[in-house]
A = this chain, B = another copy of it.
Amino acid sequence: MLEAMFFIAITAEAMTAALAAGRRKMDWFGVCLLACVTALGGGTARDVLLGHYPLYWVHNPYVLLLVCGAALLTIAMARVVDKLRWPFLLLDALGLVVFTIVGCNVAIEMGQHPLIIIVAGMVTGIVGGILRDVLCNDVPLVFSSELYATVSIVTGVLYYFGLQANLPPDLVMLVAIAVGFTLRVVALILKWEMPKFVYDKDLR
């Protein structure tokens, strides 16, 4: 079931990336490339940082076709898409928490320190979006918008401590996903944000 959600998450990330590419008037190839970087960049960054080879998509290259397919489908149905704002945001929220769980699992299997397990989940959840924003020449949204990375951290903490408490793994996973997902959706609706740090002097 986690695997099914993982593929849904990858597809959703690919589609939001395709829309971002469209806003930058990229060509079809650029759309596919940005979709791959966004959907697979988080897991790739995690694996490179942890030295966990081979990378997921090198081992299962067909996921590249899935991502490019989802990106091209988004081009085809772009006119319908703006009626789908909420389904998209919900899928993106699901993607965030599912990527987090997958990332934690990789670090747990490698026997990493608890802090690194949480970081691995967060990197998997947010780095794809950061790379998308850097390639689109924006300051990454995750640095300043509604709770996003925080959702990933909360999900990872719940998941890790649930497993530590010897609760049934499937239950722990479901609860972590449900809590993370709900937190993200509520943050979107109520526009919850972290406090901002505003500093306008230039030290240089």
Contact = CB atoms under 8 A, between A and B. Distances in A.
Nearest to A89: B203
A64 B22 contact: no
B64 A119 contact: yes
A88 interface: yes
Using C-beta atoms within 8 Å of the partner chain, give the interface range for chain A: 35 or more
A174 interface: no
Copy number of this protein in the oligomer? 3
A3 interface: no
Nearest to A84: B203
A-side interface mostly: helix
A139 B137 contact: yes
B138 A137 contact: yes
B135 A135 contact: no
Interface in A117-145: 119, 130, 134-145
Contact of A82 (B139, B144, B194, B203): B203
Interface in A81-104: 81-82, 85, 88-89
Interface in A131-177: 134-145, 149-150
Nearest to A21: B197
Interface of A: 16, 18-19, 21-31, 33-34, 44, 48-51, 53-55, 58, 61-62, 64-65, 75, 78, 81-82, 85, 88-89, 112-113, 115-116, 119, 130, 134-145, 149-150, 193-204
